[in-house]
Structure 1
Amino acid sequence: MESKKQSIGHQFAHFVALNILSMVGVSCYILVDTFFIGNGVGADGLTALNLALPLFSVQQAFGFLFSVGCGTKYAILKARKEDEAADELVCSTVVWAGLFGTALAILIFVFARPLMILMGAKGAMIGLSAGYMRTVLSFTPFFLLNSTCNLLVKNDYNPKLAMLGTLSGSLFNIIFDYIFIYPMHMGMFGAALATGFSPWVNLMVLSFHVIRKKNQFHLHKPTFRLGLLSEVAKLGLTSAITELAAGVVVLVFNWAILSQAGNIGVAAYGVVANIAIVVMAIYNGIAQGMQPLVSTNYGLGKEENMHRLLRYAVGTTLLVSAGMYLVLAMFAVPIAELFNGEHLASLRAIASEGVRIYFTGIFFAGMSVVFGVYCNSREQVKKAFAIAVLRGGSVMVPVLLILLFVARAGMVGVWLSFPVSEAIIFMIALVLVRKKNENVKDF
């Protein structure tokens, strides 16, 4: 509540800093697995992990569907003093997240092998990737509950606790990845187990929000009104599609790279893809840090504050993008080598080239993420949905196919498809937002 008395600039800086740490913590679940698997299992482990990555995006997409939808609606309802509706929203969404998570876990566990074949796995890779995926995604109910509760706590003006919860889960993952892979020699199963238990740790930390009576909502028997579920899904759909799109892109890239460079190419892309997850987490941290403030000011009808928050987010995104690309371009080879436990020259060469080319697109990608979340935060769902669809592979896949099969650019074409498509998406998104909201040109 204290943060509400601060200036809008201080609130933005506070929320964004904590949200970036929190989102990076979530992204590190898989990044840490990549590091330990790359060094403790080798190139085959990296390949298997990257083949399983699109299904992790499906899990994350459902997490965003409930968490962003619930968090956004909660902030708006609280700003309008509709406390009873906010209480109903919280209790119902938490139950729905748990139920959907359980159903998804069962489906993926049963169909793991055919799903991995669809992902492009062959031979020994089928069993290796299916085993990892089955283990991690058995914990899907807890991942969805963790995502929902984390964003709810942020929107309940306790971003510090949300950050501490996420970092605690990530620290647990790092420690037990090491223990399970090295001293206990459990390989990919150990890495998956450490990742699966991490959201439990996060949830235990988040529970102190209620235990210490910091919550502004009240727990009661949930309702199962489909209208309420529809409202949550509508507001969370943009973020869900964006996350799902990331999985689709990884899947298409895997197929393309298998045809160009085989398993070593997929292992190299695994390095790039996992760094990309962290980079996008930083952009999501900026955007989701802005979200509670935009939603609250939208509920209060404070238009100028919303425009100011957008300008802050755009400026922060551009500054962060410049810093990140400078680091990635300068240290591309040592970054690739971090995940190259077998010191394969081919993996190092492909991955370092990929880092330098692929990440030129982050300037455009970050802006598109901010625009999408800004629109969604003020219930401009059609605009947000349009941006999400653009980022959902509808631009990138055709660009990739043109570069591969028309321009015949090989692996360079694979890496270039990201910056080219993100530049196109950004220009279209900017036109859409400027056309429908004249104030956006003020940023």
Structure 2
Amino acid sequence: MNELGSRRLFFKYAVPQMVGLLFNSIYLIMDGVFIGNRLGRIGMAAAAISVPVIEILIAISMALASGAGIMISDRLGRERLGEALRIFKASILLSALVGSAVALLGNHFCHGIAGFLGATPGIHDQAVGYLRYIVLFSPFLLFSFLLGGLARNDGRPGLAMTALTLGSLSNVVLDYLFLFPMDMGIEGAALATAIGPVVSVIVLLPHFLLKRGRLYLEKATIRWKDWLDILRLGSPSFVMEFSIGIITFIYNVAIVKNGYGEIGLAAYLVIGYMMLIFLTLFLGMAEGLQPVFSYLQSVGNHGKNDELLSFARCFFLAIGISCYMGIVLFGRDFISIFSPEEIAMIDLAEKASPVYFAGFFLAGFNILAISFRQSTGRTRSAMAISLLRSVAIPPVLIGLLPLILGRESIWACHSLAEAGTACYIFKTTRRNERWEERWENRLPRYTVEDERTTRSGPSTSRST
């Protein structure tokens, strides 16, 4: 990595992961389109019950991948391959344990989980049928993201992108096959979703089993501290990923409370699909840069790290502005794909989306800051930013702003939360820079002549 320029590093690591996650988001959207067209509103409602479970599983897998990736990149940068292999094995075992627990407990309590997540008697059986496949195949979902992240840390970002892409495409093909020619109903849609990660794992496994890189399984003693460190370092990624679900839940409650009713919920569902694409671009690039940030930090190349961060900020900003222009110009066309006959819903979503996404270019800035601080060992700072933009600022704004400015202001709350978080990042960054500058100014400054003096004795020439 040291030999490559910052721009080449960015395009080698950030863009492939962005593309892979984008395909992953598109297949989730296509899943909704297939179910809606084949099974109607009841099928969509039944599948929607499992969305929080899927989001939690993805958030857990992101936490494991990023936590292990940070530790492995640090060890590889310091040429401690044995420790890197030990952490690799620890992350695999931890993922297997978590996945097995979810599969066993989730299958046992499937009916209770469906009821807790809001399944009504009319859709309960279909919701359980969909949910059962999701929890049963959960180990593959965890492994697909974990192995993809570790492949990036092992210098194979293209392989990670290919695995995610093929898994997503297989889900789209199987959705059509299971729902239309084979007429398998909601269970067919669930099975298609569950098989996608299996394809990704099959693509990724040969890299590690055939020792095509530096990471592979070997005999190593697992330490409890490794597991705790993986979870600790990965916790900001968990919050960052799960924040989509948190904000969606808060908005759903507020939309009903402010009198928008079913039309408002339907409009926000479509806005949520746009939000998923928007944030996936940023999350993918940030995850792709994690091994680079961690590696450069471990080898002490802070100059290139700062240069890469500056370029990434500009690129994230350009992506954010481009996406916003796309929403303004083509938002109605996208919204109409889901329910062309629902004119009232389309009008509301079209009106709300430019306000909702106005500050989302700052979301990229915030996500990048979380990834950078997390990757360079500032886990508490990364966690603080993750919590600010998910569970701290949004509920306050969504609760208070409509009371002061009217219910229309609810659509601006998410962007205002991102703006407030960006202000916090800017303030803390400037404060840290001033502190470092003051600290450096207190240190004595030596010249080359000082080094000679230290080695050979006093000299008549001394500079400070």
Q: Which residue of 1 aligns with 2:289?
A: 290
| Separation (CA, whole Å) in 2 of partners of 1:92 and 1:156 | 16
The normalised TM-score by structure 1 is: 0.91
Q: Mapping of 1:63-212 within 5 angstroms?
A: 63-210=61-208
1:415 partnered with 2:426: no
Q: Which residue of 2 aligns with 1:272?
A: 271
- Of 236, 239, 242, the residue aligned with 2:240 is 242
1:19 partnered with 2:17: yes
Instruction: Quote the offset at 1:29 in angstroms.
Output: 3.8
| Separation (CA, whole Å) in 2 of partners of 1:343 and 1:60 | 33
The normalised TM-score by structure 2 is: 0.87
Q: Mapping of 1:337-376 within 5 angstroms?
A: 337-340=336-339, 343-376=341-374
Change (3 A) 1:8 1:299: same
Instruction: Quote the offset at 1:251 in angstroms.
Output: 1.8
Q: Mapping of 1:311-330 within 5 angstroms?
A: 311-330=310-329
What SS class does the counterpart of residue 364 from structure 2 fall into?
Answer: helix
Q: Does 189-198 or 244-253 show the bigger shift?
A: 244-253
Change (3 A) 1:135 1:251: farther
Larger radius of gyration: 2
What SS class does the counterpart of residue 335 from structure 1 fall into?
Answer: helix
1:377 partnered with 2:375: yes
| Separation (CA, whole Å) in 1 of partners of 2:211 and 2:415 | 47
Instruction: Quote the offset at 1:151 in angstroms.
Output: 0.3
Instruction: Quote the offset at 1:222 in angstroms.
Output: 5.2
Change (3 A) 1:418 1:48: farther
1:434 partnered with 2:433: no
Q: Does 309-318 or 258-267 show the bigger shift?
A: 258-267
Change (3 A) 1:297 1:391: same
| Separation (CA, whole Å) in 1 of partners of 2:360 and 2:45 | 24
Q: Does 139-148 or 221-230 show the bigger shift?
A: 221-230
What SS class does the counterpart of residue 108 from structure 1 fall into?
Answer: helix
Q: Does 82-91 or 30-39 show the bigger shift?
A: 30-39
Change (3 A) 1:99 1:289: same
Change (3 A) 1:374 1:286: same
Change (3 A) 1:355 1:132: farther
Letter in 2 for 1:153: A
Q: Which residue of 1 aligns with 2:306?
A: 307
Letter in 2 for 1:148: L
Letter in 2 for 1:208: P
For structure 2, the residue ranges without an aligned partner over 5 or more in a row are 438-464
* C-alpha contact 1:15 1:159 (8 A) present in aligned 2: yes
Letter in 1 for 2:62: F
Deviations 1:15-68 (A, max 9, x none): 121111122123234222122223333344444444432222211111012100
Change (3 A) 1:116 1:440: farther
* C-alpha contact 1:396 1:417 (8 A) present in aligned 2: yes
Instruction: Quote the offset at 1:268 in angstroms.
Output: 2.8
Q: CA RMSD in A?
A: 2.3
Q: Which residue of 2 aligns with 1:33?
A: 31
Aligned length: 436
What SS class does the counterpart of residue 124 from structure 1 fall into?
Answer: coil
* C-alpha contact 1:325 1:360 (8 A) present in aligned 2: yes
Letter in 2 for 1:189: E
* C-alpha contact 2:16 2:157 (8 A) present in aligned 1: yes
| Separation (CA, whole Å) in 1 of partners of 2:37 and 2:176 | 11
Change (3 A) 1:237 1:18: same
| Separation (CA, whole Å) in 1 of partners of 2:405 and 2:211 | 61
Letter in 2 for 1:389: L
Q: Which residue of 1 aligns with 2:454?
A: none
